[in-house]
């Protein structure tokens, strides 16, 4: 029966989940150590993002993401009727905590809220640096926007 001991490839996204989990527990060091100044800048930008969103604007502050740490992906956050049932003010804290956790896990992230335009579903975005599309998809799946019923479109940024 030992000939039936065949290995089974796990889902690609599982690797990123495992790595992120080990990073958050300090069992694995991130691929690229960022300086304390950059981490502080990203954290400050994320906090500004949360405060601005509470005021109805999403002034996230511009933080230049490191250019040499892999591809960047934009997570386009689309509103849906289901999401509209959740008041925006109640989501601020969740989005802010999520972005802080993503940053703590070793990913560079920034985001902006867009002004409402009648008939348009695009409400905001995050730009995140991730080692692969699968990693970006795994991150997007954990975003509160997805859990609250919103739709997230993922596009890789073409560096020019």
Partner 1 sequence: MSIGEDLDDRALVARFLGTRDEASFRMLYRRYTPAMYGLALRLLSRRSDAEDVVQEAWIRATERLGGFRWDASIRTWLSSIVVNCCREASRTDWRWISEENPASEGRALAVPALELTVDVDRAIAKLPSGCRSVFVLHDIEGRTHQEIGTLLDIDPGTSKSQLFHARRHLRSLLQ
Q: What residues numbered 2-31 form the site for partner 1, per CB under 8 A?
A: 2, 4-11, 14-15, 17-19, 21-23, 25, 27-31
List the x/- string, 29-58, binding to partner 1 by CB under 8 A. xxx---------------------------
Structure tokens at 125: 């975005």
Q: Does 68 bind partner 1 (CB under 8 A)?
A: no
Q: Which residue's CB is nearer to partner 1, number 79 or number 129?
A: 129
- Kindly state the smallest distance separating residue 72's Cβ from partner 1, in Å: 18
Task: Between 14 and 57, name the residue whose CB sits nearer to partner 1.
Answer: 14
Can you read off the two tokens belonging to residue 29?
A: 């060091």
Q: How far is the CB of 24 from partner 1 (least distance, A)?
A: 10
- Whose structure tokens read 């795994």? 138
122-129 sheet: strands from edge to edge = 109-113, 122-129, 72-78, 151-156
Binding track, positions 102-121, relative to partner 1; x by CB under 8 A: --------------------
Q: How far is the CB of 142 from partner 1 (least distance, A)?
A: 14
CB contact burial 33-72 (16+ within 10 A = b; e otherwise)? ebeeeeeeebeebbebbbebbeeeebebbebebeeebbbb
CB of 25 or CB of 55, closer to partner 1: 25
Q: Which residues share a beta bridge with 95?
A: none
Contact indicator for 129, 70 with CB cutoff of 8 Å: yes
Q: Contact at 8 Å (CB) between 80 and 123?
A: no
> Applying CB under 8 A, which residues contact partner 1?
1-2, 4-11, 14-15, 17-19, 21-23, 25, 27-31
């Amino acid at each position: 029966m030992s000939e039936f001991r065949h290995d089974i490839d796990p889902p690609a996204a599982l690797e990123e989940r495992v790595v992120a989990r080990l990073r958050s527990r300090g069992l694995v060091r991130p691929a690229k150590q960022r300086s304390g100044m950059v981490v502080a800048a990203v954290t400050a930008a994320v906090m500004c993002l949360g405060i601005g969103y509470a005021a109805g604007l999403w002034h996230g502050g511009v933080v230049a993401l490191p250019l040499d740490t892999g591809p960047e992906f934009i997570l386009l956050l689309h509103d849906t009727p289901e999401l509209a049932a959740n008041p925006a003010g109640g989501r601020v804290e969740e989005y802010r905590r999520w972005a802080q956790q993503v940053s703590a896990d070793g990913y560079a992230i920034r985001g902006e809220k867009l002004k409402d335009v009648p008939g348009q579903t695009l409400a905001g975005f995050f730009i995140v640096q991730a080692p692969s599309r699968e990693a970006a998809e795994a991150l997007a799946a954990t975003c509160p926007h997805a859990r609250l019923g919103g739709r997230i479109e993922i596009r890789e940024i073409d560096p020019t």
